[in-house]
Amino acid sequence: MTMTLQEISDRLEIQELFVDYTQAIDRRNWDALDDVFTADAHIDYAATGGSSGDLPSTKAFLAQAMPMFKSFQHLVGTSKIVVDGDNATATSILHNPMVLPREDGPPRTFFVGVWYHDTLVRTPQGWRIKERVEELCYFHNAPEGMAPAGA
């Protein structure tokens, strides 16, 4: 399949947006998410036991939930991006090692795998995610009670 320069540019811009997302989350810079999502975005982390709602409620959830972790990395890749004019969809894998401190021993590292299903729009400021829905693939080595039922 031969792509036009516009299609190549769109895909690179969307991939860069996904990098901006991971940097915002991993650096705990919740306000940087304003440059990743549309103001009216819907973000659904329910599959992994998180929140589902608008951008302000998601930022509040992250600010409350993420301090329990000593560290984490959101590794997003293998994105299938379909661009249709000023709209796009993407499905990407996420591999997310997370480290929890423990009072009675060394930190516990566990792993979360999800697919992000995104709907994106081109705005005057560039591509933004309008909707992100997580689909759970796996939890590995998660502390008891942390993984959602069935994980």
Say if residues 53 and 40 touch (Cβ distance below 8 Å): no
Query: What's 5-140's CATH class?
Result: alpha beta
Q: What is the pLDDT of residue 108?
A: 94
Say if residues 51 and 61 touch (Cβ distance below 8 Å): yes
Q: What is the pLDDT of residue 138?
A: 95
Alpha carbons within 13 angstroms on the beta-carbon side of residue 54 total: 4
Place of tokens 């509040």: 60
Evaluate if residue 86 carries a pLDDT over 90: yes
Question: For the chain, how far is it from start to end, CA to CA, in angstroms?
Answer: 38
Q: What is the pLDDT of residue 127?
A: 98
Say if residues 24 and 36 touch (Cβ distance below 8 Å): yes
Alpha carbons within 13 angstroms on the beta-carbon side of residue 114 total: 21
pLDDT band at 147 (very low <50, low <70, confident <90, very high): confident
- Kindly report, residue by residue over 25-56, the tens digit of the pLDDT: 999 999 999 999 999 999 999 999 999 999 99
Q: What is the pLDDT of residue 91?
A: 98
pLDDT band at 145 (very low <50, low <70, confident <90, very high): confident
Q: What is the pLDDT of residue 146?
A: 79
